Amino acid sequence: MKLGTLYLENRYILAPMQNVTTSPYRRFCRKFQKIGLVCVPMLYTKRIEKNPETIVDDLCKIEKERPISVQLISSDPRSLKKSIDYLESYKFDVLDINAGCPSKRAIKAKEGGYLLKDLERLENLVKIAVKNSSKPVSLKIRIGFEDSNNIKELAEIANNSGIDFLTVHARTVKSFFEHNPLNLDIVKKLKENLTIPLVGNGDIASPIEANYFIDYTNVDALMIGRESMGNPQIFDQIHEYFTKGKEILFRNDKEKMLQNIEIYKRCLDEFLNGIILPRNINEYKFMELKRNSIWLAKSIKNSAIIRRQISNTKNLKQLELVLNNM
């Protein structure tokens, strides 16, 4: 399928999630199925300017993960341009601009979701990205800041700024996450006002929900985040449903969990092979394996007990002992 000038093998995208969709995680999800595009979570342009060496683990080896998108979060045109220049030496496929992050830090810094209430600043940043990036540019938004009254203006900016596609999380910035339902009516309206492709995102946790999202809104592609945590096969489940009408249900048990943890370890080793990280490798491995083991225990018998045991471990040795004794 095509998203602007970008050709993708399918219309499923692994969402950018800070401290989740790391390189080992993206590799892990791809071990189970093809995924059209995977995303590096947001990189702060101020951080790139001050300490570019701290983003080594985010970017090293990304050329082996293509098609891949790299996301920047910024409030400042000069800092954005400098970061784009810095990224030019890396091989990736899409430069994404974050205009949806709802964190207090982002809003205070006038970046991420803040941009949805300062459309002039948003438009300026997007134009700078398009002008300075040699790669296609995309924009990731929510359906508005507090409400969606400016959705038509947002569509106009997206249409006229030269970006290849837009991604929308179907909530406002103020509504954070699951406590508030999605608003697919606004996504539908946004799609009707766009001349560029739209990727839909939010709460997709099954093939039925994926089907409903597309049917209702007519979006061109789907982005999935949290459901992949513990269910790396979600993309395959959706694909099977769309292509063969087959609904594969998510099932997990201890054996499958341990198998998946083994696969994760291999992805970690693959990633770590031959690279130098600006931090302790054992600590990195431990944190990666611990949080993913917890997610991979999703829905198994005694899941709460097992998760607690894993979460009480303090180092790699303890974690491996717990996993080996399961």
Ligand X SMILES: Cc1cc2nc3c(=O)[nH]c(=O)nc-3n(C[C@H](O)[C@H](O)[C@H](O)COP(=O)(O)O)c2cc1C
Contacts with ligand X, residue ranges (CB under 6 A): 15-18, 20, 41-42, 71, 98, 100-101, 140, 169, 201-204, 224-227
* Closer of 76 and 227 to ligand X (Cβ): 227
String of b and e for 236-275 (b: at least 16 CB within 10 Å)?
Answer: bbbbbbbeeeeebeeebeeeebbebbeebbebbebbbeee
Phi and psi angles of residue 248, each rounded to the nearest 5 degrees, phi first = -90, 125
Is the CB of 143 or the CB of 323 nearer to ligand X? Answer: 143
Q: Is 101 a catalytic residue?
A: yes
How near is the Cβ of 205 to ligand X at its closest, in Å?
8
Indicate the residue among 100 and 194 with the shorter CB distance to ligand X.
100
Q: Are 271 and 59 in contact (CB under 8 A)?
A: no
Q: In this structure, which amino acid lies at residue 196?
A: I
d(CA 27, CA 8): 17
Residue 292 Cβ, how far from ligand X at the closest point, in Å?
13
Calpha distance 83→77 (Å, rounded): 10
* Strand-strand pairing, 2-3 and 165-169: unpaired
Return the C-alpha torsion angle 212, 217, 221, 223, nearest 10.
Answer: -70
Give me the catalytic one of 29, 39, 101, 267: 101
Residue whose CB is nearest to ligand X in the complex, by number: 225
Q: How far is the CB of 223 from ligand X (least distance, A)?
A: 7
* Residue 197 CA neighbour count, 13 Å, CB half: 18
* 201 class by beta-carbon count within 10 Å (0-12 exposed, 13-18 middle, 19+ buried): buried
Give CA angle at 73 (184, 272), nearest 5°.
Answer: 105
Peptide bond into 67 cis (omega under 30): yes
Closest to ligand X by CB, 16 or 207: 16
Question: Of 224 and 257, which has the nearer Cβ to ligand X?
Answer: 224
Smallest gap from residue 17 Cβ to ligand X (A): 4
Question: Residue 254 CA to chain centroid, in angstroms?
Answer: 27
Residue closer to ligand X by CB (options 71, 161) is: 71
- AA letter at 278: P
Least distance from C-beta 231 to ligand X, angstroms? 11
CB 296 within 8 A of CB 230: yes
Report, in Å, the least distance between residue 98 CB and ligand X. 5
Catalytic residues: 101
